[in-house]
Amino acid sequence: MDFDIRIFYGLAGLMVIAGGALMVAAERATHRASLDTPLLSRRARVVIGGTCIYFGLMIAALVYFHR
């Protein structure tokens, strides 16, 4: 596996991890009542997290099947 493919796999992995972290943050925000206004709403966190996971998996699949 050459260097360029490892970069794309790393990018895909980071996107999936970031998306999962956003989804967990959205779920925790619903279970605790905070007085301050959050930077992102729960729905925005779920949408952005799901999009990150989706595109991360698509990048990994494209790189895998492109070989």
Burial annotation 13-41 (CB, 10 A radius, 16+ → b, else e): eebbeebeebbeebeeeeeeeeeeeeeee
Question: pTM of the prediction?
Answer: 0.70
**Where would I find the H helices in the chain?**
3-31, 42-66
| pLDDT at position 33 | 55
Position 5, amino acid: I
Hey, where are the domains in the chain?
Answer: 3-66
| pLDDT at position 48 | 86
pLDDT in tens, the chain (67 residues): 566 778 888 888 899 998 888 888 877 766 665 545 566 777 888 888 889 899 989 988 888 887 6
| pLDDT at position 63 | 83
